[in-house]
Amino acid sequence: MAMLGSIGLRLWGPAPALSQSLRAFSTTHGAAAAVSAEQLAEKLRAQKREEQKQEKPKNPVLRRVRELSELSKQLQRVHPNVLAKALKHRILYQNEELVVIDKPYGLPVHGGPGIQNCITDVLPILAKMLDGMKAEPLHLCHRLDKETTGVMVIARDKDTAHRIQCLFKTRQVEKKYWTISVGLPVPLEGLVDIPIVEKEVQSHQSHYKMTLAPNYRISPENGKMVKVRRNRDAHSAVTRYRILASTPSCSLLELQPITGVKHQLRVHLAYGLGCPILGDHKYAHWSKLAPQKLPENTLMRLGLEQAKVRHLPLHLHAHQLTLPTGTCGDKQLHLVCRPPRFFRNTLKRLKLEIPESLEK
């Protein structure tokens, strides 16, 4: 009642003496409320910390997966200046034309629904951190998926960005990715040349996926290869691959995309070779969105139950880019980036060893 009275009196203009006493009461009451609110907030924070401490998984794999998930969330919550500073610490190489970073897991390149922070948005801030307040914004030369880690090239000016983008479009940039696949591709080294198209998956949860649109099929009558009419919406997609290390249930592969179709590597491995990328839940099944099904041997080595597989991150890493340089393109710039810690930990658990000749 006192608070309601004070509001009414303020609205209608109370007498000076009464106004002073009400202000004194309001100040005292507000201070008490502020103290109570502060104590309550601290209590809630302490309770939350205790709950998180109790819920921390004992399994080291799940612990690392949670850390990775938390990092992705933190990247969306931090101030753009903090994100730009983090990218600055991840610079692999720079010269007067280029800045090359090691892109972290879970950070989108471009903005979109539900995205608060992305690489594109903080490029002007990063430019000022590198070259002073009068620096021109940096420019992306290509893109990587949110879940993909590794080498990303950024240009210091528009002309350089346009030149590098043209090199990508005309397939003059050699790209090499490392990935952990579920299963062993046959043959152990080869080339997948199957066009890719985007289609809607009709199910209880309709969604769109990239899938294969092969130019040939096997005839059910005689078992011979028969050419089919080309899908006009399909894009030519070519991927070289080779095994770097393997066990009976999983492999470390080097992938070299000759073309640059959306989700090309993921589709070629999952649907072309039958060896999906570890942690690729989008392409684990065609007709539904569900966690990847892993062999018992792989689950045992990872220390996971099948019910927890949905937490596994995508294991796809942009390991190396080779750019032609010089006035005539007669020189080459080799940009190499080590896989992130979670990738290396998975290799260790699966007993997949990177060949010494490729270790950096």
* Residues identified as active-site: 145
What stretches of the chain adopt beta strand conformation (E)?
Answer: 91-94, 98-103, 139-140, 149-155, 174-182, 189-193, 196-201, 207-212, 216-218, 225-227, 238-246, 250-257, 316-325, 331-336
Could you give the CA distance from residue 350 to residue 354 in angstroms, rounded to a whole number?
A: 12
| Burial profile 36-53: b = 16 or more Cβ within 10 angstroms, e = fewer | eeeeeeeeeeeeeeeeee
Could you give the CA distance from residue 239 to residue 241 in angstroms, rounded to a whole number?
A: 6
User: Residue 198 phi/psi, 5° resolution?
Assistant: -95, 130
The dihedral built from the CA positions of residue 290, 61, 188 and 260, taken in this order, carries a sign that is: positive
Burial of 24 from C-beta contacts in 10 A (0-12 / 13-18 / 19+): exposed
Q: Are strands 196-201 and 139-140 parallel, antiparallel or unpaired?
A: unpaired
187 preceded by a cis bond (ω within 30 of 0): yes
Enter the tokens of residue 238. 């070519």
